[in-house]
Structure 1
Amino acid sequence: MGITRISPTKGNLIATKKSLDLAKLGYELMDRKRNVLIREMMMLVDKVKTLRDEITFTYEQAYLSLQQANISLGVVNEIANTVTIENGVHVVYRSVMGIEIPNVSMDESDVAFQYGFTESNSKLDEATILFNKAKRLTILLSEVDNAIFRLARAVQKTQKRANALKNIVLPALKEDIKFISEALEEKEREEFTRLKVIKNKKAQAALQ
């Protein structure tokens, strides 16, 4: 049974056929949008794995350098306290099929060694550079992770709407068209039969 049992008129048949065409177009657009979002998401999923591997390796190297700096310099807490808090992170958004995707950036600047050269050595400098690199990679990872989450949620919503069109709306409209068409055909047959009876009666009356 269709969504509603409408009156079987020619006007309703034309309107329902137009609704069916629009629903088909809507489904095609939804399916196209879903495919674009999935393709975008899968590209980012591949990027996440690469980023995670690079971050892990960078942190390992950074902590190794920091450990070696600790061994040669002693505790470096006082030096660490001279590092300023990062406030140069910015977020803007780009649109992918109407979905707002974050683009996180950090002010580009050379690594500033905020300690005296007499208080450090090459390992501490190396650790500083590596931790700065890890920070930038982590910011990039947060951007990609958030984008994947937003895209996945959009894919789910788009898929749900596409399924509703495919499994509920389209079959219902097709059934309504079938119902109206059959009802109109039946009405035409009845009208044809009625006119034929009238014609026969007139013919018989003319012979009498």
Structure 2
Amino acid sequence: MANKQVFPTKGNLIATKKSNALAHMGYELMDRKRNILIREMMGLLDDVKLLRDEITQTYAEAYRALQLANMSLGVISAMAEAVPIDTGLHVSYRSVMGVEIPKLSYDKQEIKPMYGLERANSKLDYAYTCFQRVKEMSVVLAEVENSVYRLANAIRKSQKRANALKNIVIPEFEHNIKFITDALEEKEREEFSRQKVIKRNKDSQMQMERK
């Protein structure tokens, strides 16, 4: 059904054809953006699985080491409080087709236990080292998971816009183009018929005048 606000004029036909061309271009750009984002996301999904598996194993190893340290030293919560707060994490962003993807950088610090050597042993040192590894892997996993989330959200939006252009906007423009074209052609046929009638009447009148 043609838009009631579209009047069948040559100016509107030209404008609608231009809008239709822009809509097709927009659809192609949205589809291209979606495909690029999908490729980017698929490249990260394998990393997510590997990182999760690795971090799960490292967590298990770290907690086992912590249990052994607790068994040999007693409760070590006081020693844990001696570990300083880590401030070596920095966030920056890169753009992929307009999507801001986080880039986490971690200033890896030299492992220096702060709890005093006289109160520790190798089991506690090993637990500390394991949890340090967990922290470093968590930074990488957080970056990848957040990137996947942002990409997936952008893909959904791009798909929604592409579908709207393909299934609603473009068909409406093309329907309106047909409506205007048909109306203009009908108007031309009517004008041609009118001119023929005028010419025939004029010719008849001229013949009568000659007689």
The aligned counterpart of 1:139 is 139
Deviation at 1:8, TM superposition (A): 0.8
Q: Give the deviation of 1:16 after TM superposition.
A: 0.7
**Number of aligned residue pairs:** 208
Pair 1:113 & 2:120 matched: no
1:75 match: secondary structure: coil
Q: Describe the SS at the equivalent of 2:166.
A: helix
Q: Which moved more, 1:20-29 or 1:122-131?
A: 122-131
2:195 is the alignment partner of 1:195: yes
Mapped contact 1:5–1:176 kept (Cα < 8 A): no
Matching residue of 2:47? 47
Tell me the distance in 2 between the aligned counterparts of 1:57 and 1:2.
Answer: 63
What whole-Å deviation, never above 9, does each CA across 1:145-202 have from its counterpart, x for those lacking one? 2222222221122111111111111011001000000011001111111111112122
**Using the alignment, how far apart are the partners of 1:3 and 1:53 within structure 2?**
56
Fraction of identical pairs, as percent: 58
Unaligned runs of 5+ in 2: none
The Cα offsets for residues 108-141 of structure 1, whole Å up to 9 and x where unpaired, read as 2221122333332322222111100101111222
- Structure 1 length as normaliser, TM-score? 0.93
Match in the other structure for 1:150: 150
TM-score, structure 2 as length reference = 0.91
Contact 1:2/1:171 (8 A) holds in 2: no
In the alignment, the residues of structure 2 paired with residue 117 and residue 3 of structure 1 have an alpha-carbon distance, to the nearest angstrom, of 82
Counterpart of 2:66? 66
2:97 maps to 1:128: no
Q: Provide the secondary structure at the position in 1 that maps to 2:94.
A: strand
The aligned amino acid for 1:33 is K
CA offsets 1:47-80 (integer angstroms, 9 cap, x no match): 1111110110111111122222233333323322
- Structure 1 segments unaligned to the other structure (5+ residues): none
Aligned Cα root-mean-square deviation (Å): 1.6
Query: How many Å separate the matches in 1 of 2:4 and 2:146?
Result: 42
